[in-house]
Amino acid sequence: MFGKVNTSTASMWEKKFNDLIKYRDENGNCDVPTKKSSLGRWVANQRKQYRDYDYNAGKNQSNDDARAKELHNRYEKLKDAGFKFSIGKGKYCTKLPKS
């Protein structure tokens, strides 16, 4: 399955998330341009990662599946921050379920 959460990766994710919050506070939204900065590439990667993520699976994982729980927690943090998981009109523009 997913396996253990890498603490180095988790720490980097938190740093980028904090950068996103700073961007939101300065710009009024989380719509970071995706091609001009490392934060933009991170944002694009988050959209790609969660486009393929089964949101409901994250809620129903056992305590042994730390990686799936971490993905679910990250999804919730991004959603609560006002992050848009889908943008534009491309073939990958799909809506994730609201909880």
Q: Is a pLDDT exceeding 90 seen at residue 79?
A: yes
Domain boundaries, the chain: 7-80
pLDDT for the residue 55? 54
pLDDT of residue 78: 96
Q: What is the pLDDT of residue 18?
A: 97
Cα 58 from Cα 24, distance rounded (Å)? 26
Taking only the tens place, the pLDDT of each residue in 17-64 is 999 999 999 999 999 998 889 999 999 999 988 876 655 555 555 544
Q: C-alpha distances in angstroms, 64 versus 1, 18, 92?
A: 10, 28, 31
Percent of the chain with pLDDT over 70: 69
pLDDT of res. 68: 78
Residue type, 85: F
For residues 32 and 39, the answer to whether their CB atoms sit within 8 Å is yes
